[in-house]
Amino acid sequence: MRAALVSIAALSLAACQTVPDAAAPATGLDAAAPSSMQWLYGSGEAAGASIQAWRGIADYAIARSRERRVPQSVSMGIGGAVAEPQSCARGDSWKPLAVVFDVDETVILNQGYEYWATTTGASFSKETWEKWEKTGASYVRPVPGAVTGIRRLREAGITPVFNTNREFSPEGAARAIAAAGLGEAIHRDTLFLRGDDGVNSGDKDGRRALIAERYCVIALAGDNLGDFADVFNDDSRTPPERRELAARGDLAQLWGNGWFVLPNPVYGYSLKGTMGEVFPEGTRWSPETAPADAPAIMNEGN
């Protein structure tokens, strides 16, 4: 790890010297970008990770679409639980196959909005976000791999359906998707926004249920666990409990196997946790207290 020779502290501070705040926004184009944005929007590593995820989505869904038996849906959050796979038979035929995608930081990168937020340091406001939804279409970029991945799905007869928590402009969301080279999205058929299930909530189970009535959903993709099931949105769970729910047991078997995550360390409900939660007992090393020769203790892990 070349990176071993990079100071974590220095990196963090470098990021913070440019972090937006009212006092000192990073207005100059020569200022260092916040490190999470350097990674997601600027690095080859994030581009490679995204292309890899999109290849996995298309390979998985196309392989499923070629199976001969009556297709089944993937497990997904519906009605506050993770529903088992369901038969996709409808009468003596099948529902059309679909993959359900989140939009922001899953199929498109909202670089235009993040540029504005970083350079101004302005706090989030619904007014500005509404304007972004309505006018940002030509300021987005496709997530690397998404254009090829969506094209491969459409060519295989699989419908991309978009389930986003945007709430102000279906037209703007469809324009952004088209502008990124991802094709057409039709409101309430292949594009669902917050509220389209009659509930003004960021929870998506209700919209997943609407989509599953019409389509055989064979895979889900998003940057947030709520893009897969509302159970992950339960705020009574601590971050370690939420991570455990995703990384152990039955649900862990779904990653890369029907559920596909796109990386997003820039914003979202993934960015929670105290030092004590992120660094549990057993991980709190110090050069002063470390034994001269630590024993090789077997950790549990998956």
Footprint on residues 120-179 left by its own copies (CB under 8 A) = 121-124, 126, 128-129, 131-132, 134-142, 144-148, 164-166, 175-176, 178-179
Q: Which residue has the tokens 């998404």?
A: 146
Q: Which pair of structure tokens corresponds to residue 189? A: 């058929």
Cα dihedral sign, 106-112-116-122: negative
* Per-residue contact flags (x/-) with its own copies for residues 60 to 99, judged by CB under 8 A: ----------------------------------------
Binders in 11-30 for its own copies, by CB under 8 A:
11-16, 18-21, 26, 28-30
Instruction: Report d(CA 222, CA 225) in Å as an integer.
Output: 7
Reduce the DSSP state of residue 163 to 3 states and report it: strand
- How many of the chain's residues bind its own copies (CB under 8 A)? 154
**Shortest spacing between CB 171 and its own copies, in angstroms:** 9
Q: Is 246 in the site for its own copies (CB under 8 A)?
A: yes
Q: Is 118 in the site for its own copies (CB under 8 A)?
A: yes
Residues 6+ apart with CB under 8 A from 219: 57, 60, 61, 64, 74, 99, 100, 258, 259, 260
| Identity of the residue, 87 or 276, whose beta carbon is nearer to its own copies in the bound complex | 276
Q: Which stretch binds its own copies (CB under 8 A): 7-15, 69-77, 88-96, 205-213?
A: 7-15
**Shortest spacing between CB 255 and its own copies, in angstroms:** 4
Q: Is 186 in the site for its own copies (CB under 8 A)?
A: no
Choose among 168, 188, 189, 186: nearest CA to 178.
186
Choose among 104, 207, 259, 285: nearest CA to 112.
104
**Shortest spacing between CB 90 and its own copies, in angstroms:** 30
